[in-house]
Amino acid sequence: DLKGTFRLHNGVDMPYFGLGVYLSEDGKEVTNAVKWALQDGYRHIDTASIYNNEEGVGLGIRESGVDRKDIFVVSKVWNSDQGYESTIRAYESSLERLNLDYLDLYLVHWPVKGKYKETWRAMEYLYKHKGVRAIGVSNFLQHHLEDLIAASEIVPMVNQMEFHPYLVQQDLIDFCHKNTIQYEAWSPLMQGHIFELEIMKDLAAKYKKSIAQIVLRWDLQKGVITIPKSAKKDRIRANADIFDFELAPEDVKKLENLDRGKRFGPDPDNFD
Ligand code: NAD
């Protein structure tokens, strides 16, 4: 169900379904989205300092009436804050804006060249001394991960990547799996483009579910944590309604076969 979790390599349980809030505006919009999601049973919220909505997220958490300890809150250190001291400061500032005492997961947002290893040292410090329950990365390709792991004490617990039927990156998923790094999807709905695919319309009809529900269910069956974004009450509720059906193996395969290495977001090798 919505509270179902995958266990990270440090023993922390991470809810495999969450709410993304990129482009949800700070203020009423994001506060309502977070509040509605939590009241509907979501237990995982994904924000970042660059989204400029941490204050509204924090407010939504408090207004929901759900216990802080039952919610998995994720934020990310932005590129311009990378480096040792600045990452620690960025973490403290995120906590202040969110009005929280700790994060459940803090991520390095992008692999900024020449900086991400220093940044990771700060993440290790935050994990050991500042109460962050788990630390991870985002947008790290295999060569970034190999480089990081070779130079670090702690293996990232999570890698949050663009992931959808047009960008599967199965080799990277397998590499992460082998290295006990939990894979997580961003833009699971292809930023809205998923709704244009004929095959998704066919599968939706076959299972009597929506296109969003089909692709989000696919994420779960692939063992990938997923955080679809919506700020609309009915969509937030409907997107999470994926626990009463199962895709047949051949349909899981069908979606995998759509893979064409197509990104809707930036390329991690050319973005910092
Ligand atoms: P998404 O794939 O979740 O798609 C969101 C779009 O789909 C929005 O336009 C939304 O209005 C629409 N939508 C949602 N539910 C719908 C429904 N049921 N029917 C029709 N339309 C629907 O895109 P995203 O926001 O880019 O990704 C999700 C989250 O991932 C973000 O909010 C953010 O938290 C995270 N993210 C992380 C990174 C990163 O670099 N780590 C990058 C992008 C996004």
CATH number at 123 reads 3.20.20.100
Measured in Å, residue 24 CA sits from the centre of ligand 1 at: 10
Note whether residue 20 is domain-resident. Answer: yes
Note whether residue 172 is domain-resident. Answer: yes
Q: For ligand 1, pick from 79, 187, 262 the residue to mutate: most ligand atoms within 8 Å of CB.
A: 187
For the CA atoms of 60, 63, 69, 73, the dihedral, rounded to the nearest 10 degrees, stands at 0
Checking if the pLDDT of 272 tops 90, the result is: no
Question: What's the alpha-carbon Rg for the chain, to the nearest Å?
Answer: 18
CA angle, corner 51, sides to 145 and 167, nearest 5?
A: 45
Measured in Å, residue 81 CA sits from the centre of ligand 1 at: 24
The continuous run of DSSP H or E covering 22 comes out as none
The whole-number pLDDT of residue 170 equals 98
Q: Are 145 and 176 in contact (CB under 8 A)?
A: yes
Note whether residue 270 is domain-resident. Answer: no
Q: Which atom of ligand 1 is nearest to the CA of 228?
A: 3
The whole-number pLDDT of residue 271 equals 86
Checking if the pLDDT of 184 tops 80, the result is: yes
Residue range 90-144, pLDDT digits in tens: 999 999 999 999 999 999 999 999 999 999 999 999 999 999 999 999 999 999 9
The whole-number pLDDT of residue 11 equals 98
Q: What is the mean pLDDT of residues 42-64?
A: 98
Measured in Å, residue 189 CA sits from the centre of ligand 1 at: 6
Residue range 246-270, pLDDT digits in tens: 999 999 999 999 999 999 999 999 9
Note whether residue 264 is domain-resident. Answer: no
Q: Are 80 and 110 in contact (CB under 8 A)?
A: no
Note whether residue 1 is domain-resident. Answer: no
Write down the mean pLDDT value for the chain: 97
Least Cα distance to 182 among 4, 1, 3, 16 occurs for: 16
Note whether residue 43 is domain-resident. Answer: yes
Give 2's pLDDT tier (boundaries 50, 70, 90).
confident
Binding site residue list: 109
Binding site residue list for substrate: 109
Structural domain count of the chain: 1
Q: Residue 108 is encoded by which pair of tokens?
A: 């390095």
Q: What is the mean pLDDT of residues 7-26?
A: 97
Cα separation, 110 vs 105, whole angstroms: 15
Q: Are 60 and 38 in contact (CB under 8 A)?
A: yes
Checking if the pLDDT of 1 tops 80, the result is: no
Q: Is the CB of 148 under 6 A from ligand 1?
A: no
Checking if the pLDDT of 3 tops 90, the result is: no
ipTM over 0.95: yes
Note whether residue 271 is domain-resident. Answer: no
Question: Which residues partner with 173 through β-bridges?
Answer: none
Cα separation, 161 vs 158, whole angstroms: 10
Q: Is the CB of 46 under 6 A from ligand 1?
A: yes
Residues spanned by the domain of 229: 9-259
Note whether residue 266 is domain-resident. Answer: no
Q: Which atom of ligand 1 is nearest to the CA of 22?
A: 32
Active site members? 51
